[in-house]
Each structure stands twice: as C-alpha cells, then as structure tokens.
Structure 1
Amino acid sequence: MTKPPLTLFLAAPRGFCAGVDRAIKIVEAALEKWGAPVYVRHEIVHNKFVVDRLRDMGAVFVEELEDCPPDRPVIFSAHGVPKAVPAEARRRDMVYVDATCPLVSKVHLEAQRHHENGRQMVMIGHRGHPETIGTMGQLPEGEVLLIETADEVAGLEVRDPDRLAYITQTTLSIDDTEGVVAALRARFPAIEGPHKEDICYATTNRQGAVKTVAPKVQALLVVGAPNSSNSRRLVEVAANAGCDYAQLVQRAADIDWRALEGVSAIGLTAGASAPDVLIEEVVQAFRDRFDLTVEEVVTADESIEFRLPRIVRELA
C-alpha cells in the first residue's frame, strides 16, 4: 500500500536547553558520587520520561524537604526554590545540591537587588508554578505581587507606585508578556524592568522557530509534558501564528492521527525539557505512516553550556 506524502518541518532550536541539560547531569553526577538513593525535591525538570529514567537509576523524587532523610543528599529542581528550603537543609546539616537554572537564579538576584534598593516587586508568572513559587520565596511575604495577565494590572495594590520593579517567569510567551509589561508601564510610569529580558534565550529561540514554521504547515505538534510551561506556550504561539491545529503530545502514542487526516505539511518542535529520543520517536511514527520528507528550519544557533556545581564535579 502506497504511503501518502507528507513534509515534516522540524523546528530548530527544539528540545533540551542548557539549564535542563545541566540539571539532569547534576542528578547523574550525584548518583555517581554518592550512590543511590539521591533525593530530588520536585521533578528535576517537567518531563515524565526524564524523571522515570532518573528514578530507575536511583533518584527518589519527593515533594518537600521533610520527606528526605537527613543522611542522604538532596537536589533542588531546575525551577528554583524559596530561600527557606536551603536554609532548612543547612539547619538539618544536610548535603544539598542546587540545580536551579542559572537564568532563573539571575531573576532571583534581580529581585534581591531591587528589594535592597527599597522597591516592591511585581512578578509576571503563573500561579502555582514551581519557578514562580521559588522566585517569590526569595523575598519576605508581601514584597512580590504576582500577576498573570494585563487585566490584573488595574487591581494591583502597591505600597508606593514610584518604588516598583518587575520581573518575569522565564518560560512565558514573549508576546503575552509584552502586553502585561505595557499595562504596567502605562499605570506605573516609574516602574523599573530588568536590564535584559528575563524570558530565557531557549524560550525565545523555540518560540521564534515555531513562528517561522507555523505559516508553512497545516498542523504543528509540540513534544512536551502537560505541566511544562514552556511547552504549553509553544502550542499557544503556533495557534497565534496561524497554525490551524496545534497540539501537545508527550509521546508518539499520544498523536491523534484522525485529526491529521489530509494534512500534507506538519511542523514539529519540543519543549526545553523534552529529550531527543522522544522527538525521534515521533518522527519515526510519521515515517511509518507516510512517505516522509523532513526539512529542518533553523532560526538560531545555541552553543550555551552551564557548568555543574563544584560539589558534584569533585568526585569522592
């Protein structure tokens, strides 16, 4: 039986970013140094495949520090943690490794700097997301006001409109954030922003690639986890860029083939916490069903690499 032709436009950059790669390597290095089990507070990154692989190697994932025994190492996830968490680990005399993405740590330092200069912070982010919780937890309660949308700016109750600064979650949609920032500046003209956009290079690059691919295709799939903020934003970016069908899938088994009937051109990308093996799995699923032509659409070159913390670089 003849397979129908299909062109698959593969967005680049896609998949793992430097912060995710570093966090996973931290867990692997910790297991090599201390042996199993090594405890990890929250999912090290938002991807079930990655978490399951590390669990099979001996990592134990827990929700809170109190779930960890004091005599085993604990790793804090790439999303960052409130200041109270490492403080409690030190109080319990625990060995801990902070796998917070350096770009998230940069936002933490910005928040601290503004606080020391007497400014109240406004954070643009998603309520309940680990990164937002970690960033807000860098400062005393009440010093960081959280908003998600431009509509929420009108209801902000601030201490002093002339002593404000804003920061953003690193994995947001660039377009959506621009609207919130514009609303903040319109209501609070004196508000200070970051010297450079907080939205990370990987988020920016992946969204840029999707915007380039979307007009070429009738459908676009994003490989990623449903609790991955940057993956969900890629779906939104594709839809806003004019793609008729944009869907998030964790594995090839999640693809809705009926929804893709009659499609002759499809786009494929992956969130920053999705490994290459899952992207390859999806490409192979299309190759099994179609006479497939793959075209890579490259919009940026990524060469950033973050060093591992000294505590895991120095093997016992």
Structure 2
Amino acid sequence: MDVTIGDDGDRRALAYPALVGRPEPGDTVLLNTTALAMGLGTGGYAMVVAVPDRLPPDPTGPGHLVKARYSPLQATVLGVDEQDSPHHALLADADSLTGMPVIIADLHSALPPILAGLLGDRPGTRVVYVMPDGGALPAWFSRTAARLREADALAATITVGQAFGGDLEAVTLHTGLLAARLVLGAEVAIVAQGPGNLGTGTRWGFSGVGAGEAVNAVSVLSGRPVASLRVSEGDERGRHHGVSHHSLTAYGRVALARAEVPVPELGGPFGERVAAQAAALGDRHDLVPVGVTGLQDVLTAAEQDWCVRMSTMGRSLDEDLAYFLTAAAAGRHTATLLA
C-alpha cells in the first residue's frame, strides 16, 4: 500500500491485517518508519502499527501461544504442540523424525534453489518449510514462500520460536520439525531463516549461526541433517567469497552432530577453492561431492514456472550463479536419499 508521510511524500507501507486490521483508502494510520530511515534493502517499508479509527476485533482464540511476546504487536496463535491443539496427543511423546532428511541453509534466498534441485530430480516430493525466528518474524512477509505454495513446490510452512504466520505454529524448532513429519507428512523439511539476515562482520554475530543449532536439533530427533553451504562468487566481501564464514562457523563450530555437506563440483579455480574451503569441515561432517550439470537450466525453469525470482543480496542468478548452484546441489543430493 502507499502512504503519505508529512513532508516526506508518498512511501511504501506494509500492513498485516491479522494484527492491525485492513487499512482502507483515506485512513489515518500509525506507522513505524525505522526501516525507511535505515534504508534497509530487505523490508524497506513503513510498517502499519495501527488504524486508530478502526481497530481490529479482539482475538477470540483458539490458542494461547503468544508470539512476538511482550511487544506491542504480540499475537496469540494456536500452537500445533499446545494442549488445545488437535495434534497435541500425537506430539506429546513424539521423539523421532524416522530418518527424514532436513536441509539446513543460512539465507532465506536458498529456499527456491534448494527446492529446484530437489524437485528437478524427484518431482512431487512433499516438502515443508520450517521457518525459525532469525530473520523476519511474520511468515507473511515472504512473497517467495507464498509463491512457492501457490506453485505447489511447497506443501506448507511452519513458523517456530518467535516467528508466526505459518500454516502451523510451534514453540520450538524441535516440535516444528516433528509436526512437519508427523502432522503434515513431509518427506523432506527445509530449515532456513525468513527474509532479513542480520550480520555484523564478527565471527559469532550473525543470525545464520542458528543453522548449526538446527543440525543438532535434527540429529537429536533422529533425522538426517543435510547442511547446505553458503557459497558466493559475486560477493565482494572477502568473508563471504567462496564458502562463507557463516557456513564455516555454523557447521564447523556450532554443529556438534554430524551432517552431510553437499559440495558442488563447480569446476575451475573457483570450484577448487570451494572444495578446499569445504575440506575444513571434513573432520566433523561427511562431505559429498555433487555434480551440477544441468542445474542452471533447472533454476532458470523454476524462476519461470514458479514466478519466483532467484535473488540473493540483490544479486540475480546470472550475477552469482555459484550461490544458486550450491543450494540446488543440496536439493539434488537430498533427492538421492529418498527411496
């Protein structure tokens, strides 16, 4: 929607009707303009906090799980794992993913290429996206996830932790993964934060550190963790060129359980560099070379068929092909794990 902000003129704004009601033309709205003031590339909208003259009705339930807790926009949802849920009995003592592969990635932008690589080799696979709270909290913010649902590339989204707005809600990543398997019948789950990755240029200060914790969660639940590397040939920052330090830290330091790490066979000097950097993870994880022949065509077709633009940090498929091939290789490898 468009809003007029005093002397600043017209700006883009975003409202979540489930939280603030549905603004109509001519309404006065209360805005949070922090993202505009910071010039954020992801989420650079004014956020509608309220429509003061027409407040939404009070929530009536069901559910008593509060997300975005103790913030002005805290929301009450029905958790798939809470006592009022029809699935509570199923999840009460649930303790195993029964070997389900779970692909783990750092950035939200890895979601489409992972799916392209997986579904390109194994069409019809039932995939559930489990979104933790490292980036955007509302799943509604992700146009990518919505379009993937519309294209039947994703079966559902589960939001966990403080994230909300998925098809199902869960208190923790653990119950979110169990719900993906036992409630939604997922054959594969993908864990990646929502839009809006946060990094500080320090070893530990980045939201993607949760990827390492996700490996641990999958392992303790008897799943099969597949750790997708973050690789870039287009990023000018040295810490992200080749295999990102995010992957090396999350998988090399935070992940205490063993995972399968697909290493794309990119070829040439850059491919050799990626393989050498990934080798640092070989003591802790199982490195799996994966060919990428044909994956560029698969990615291009997915963009067109799903109406989802492949983009990471503002770079397109052509501008950072290695990033997308690496994520797609994780999907391709996972297709081989399914009977």
How high is the TM-score relative to the length of structure 1?
0.29
Identify which of structures 1 and 2 has the higher relative contact order when contacts are C-alpha pairs closer than 8 Å and 6+ apart: 1
Compare the two structures and name the one with the higher helix fraction.
1
TM-score relative to the length of structure 2 = 0.28
